Amino acid sequence: MSQVTRDHLLRIEDLTVNYGQLTALDGVSFSVEESSIFAVIGANGAGKSTLMRTLAGLHKPIKGRILLDGEDITSVPPHLRVARGIALVPEGRRLFPSLSVEENLLTGTYRARKGTWTLATVYEMFPWMPSRRSQRASLLSGGEQQAVAICRALLSNPRLLLIDELSLGLAPIVVRSIYSSFGSLLESGLTVLLVEQDVSQARSIASQIHCLLEGKTTLFGGPRDFTAEEIEAAYFGIAKPNLELGTL
């Protein structure tokens, strides 16, 4: 149907999502290359989480399409998107509080595809995990919970891993250690789409950045294509006064 090149895993076209009476996403389009890290940045309320939730199927767009490997998945329900290879690490991690660490991880295998990720390989990536596997997930620290949430998503062997606000509420050192494990993710052929409020973090790790402001795209390209000032302007929408906003 569309001329998606083979190496674009995800393509969204003119995606518009309403959240209550607000337009949370307004005609956003982009493509994500396979085996790359793509970062969506933006201030609070820019529509980043709505974007991630829409990609996972939790929100229905009122307009636009989502294509995974050229196939239109816009109306596929969330639980079936997992089987197609999309896994979301939601904002706030959302581990199952009454389940143990290992049980939380195992839920990730419920609709897993074939692939390299198993309990053994995630335990290899986070060596502290096996010794705490029978603890309740709610007793872990924030960073540990984030790691479990990422591993839970990995165990479904996704092609596209969506991570919403990875660094929110975590100490910088914890964030760095989680990001340092991303190299091995890319090697396994995984594509990562992440939402990050920390712009410098996003620039250092992603090969593409996409900035949202009030649901609209304000900037996109390679992380080195722009100066910090340009990104800041796109992020807050202040440097270049936006007339549309002024009338509100």
Partner 1 sequence: MSWINALIQGIFLGGLFVLFAAGLSLLFGVMEVINLAHGDIAVAAGYLAVVLIPLLHIPAIWIFIVVVPVFVVIGYVMQRLLFQPSLKSGSLTTLLVTFGLSVIIENLLLEGFSANSHSLSIGALGSGAFRITHQLSISYLSVAILLVAIATIVIIQLGLSRTNTGRIIRAVADDREAAQLIGADYRHVFGIAAGVAFGTVALAGLALSMYSQITPSAGPTYLIYGFEAVVIGGLGSLWGTLAGGIVLGVAATIGLVASANFGALAPHLVFLAILAIRPNGFFPKKALA
Verify binding: residue 76, partner 1, rule CB under 8 A: no
DSSP 187-236: HTT-EEEEEES-HHHHHHH-SEEEEEETTEEEEEE-TTSS-HHHHHHHHH
We find the least distance from the C-beta atom of residue 57 to partner 1, in angstroms, to be 8
Three-class DSSP labels, 28-79: EEEEEECCCEEEEEECCCCCHHHHHHHHHCCCCCCEEEEEECCEECCCCCHH
Say which residue the tokens 């992603």 belong to: 206
Contacting range for partner 1; rule: CB under 8 A; set: 25-33, 76-84, 117-125, 175-183? 76-84
Rounded Cα gap, residues 37 and 56, in angstroms: 17
CB contact at 8 A, 208 and 32:
yes
18 membership: H or E segment, kind and range: strand 8-19
Determine which residue in the list 32, 40, 56, 194 makes contact with partner 1, applying CB under 8 A: 56
Q: Is 32 in the site for partner 1 (CB under 8 A)?
A: no
How many Å apart are CA 37 and CA 205, to the nearest integer? 7
Is 242 a binding residue for partner 1 by CB under 8 A? The answer is: no
Q: In terms of DSSP bridges, do strands 208-213 and 37-42 run parallel, antiparallel, or are they unpaired?
A: parallel
Q: Quick one: which of 22, 83, 171, 238 contacts partner 1 (CB under 8 A)?
A: 83
Q: To the nearest whole angstrom, how small is the minimum distance from the Cβ of residue 176 to partner 1?
A: 26
Near partner 1 by CB under 8 A: residue from 95, 122, 161, 174: 95
- What is the maximum alpha-carbon separation in the chain? 58
Amino acid at 246: G
> Could you say which of 4, 43, 76, 99 contacts partner 1 (CB under 8 A)?
99
Among 54, 145, 146, 156, binds partner 1 (CB under 8 A): 156
Q: Which of 43, 58, 76, 186 binds partner 1 (CB under 8 A)?
A: 58
Select from 2, 75, 96, 188 the one that contacts partner 1 (CB under 8 A): 96
Shortest Cβ distance from residue 31 to partner 1 (Å)?
A: 23
Nearer to partner 1, 4 or 106 (CB): 106
Q: Which residues bind partner 1 (CB under 8 A)?
A: 56-58, 77-80, 82-83, 87-88, 90, 94-99, 103, 106-108, 110-112, 152-153, 156
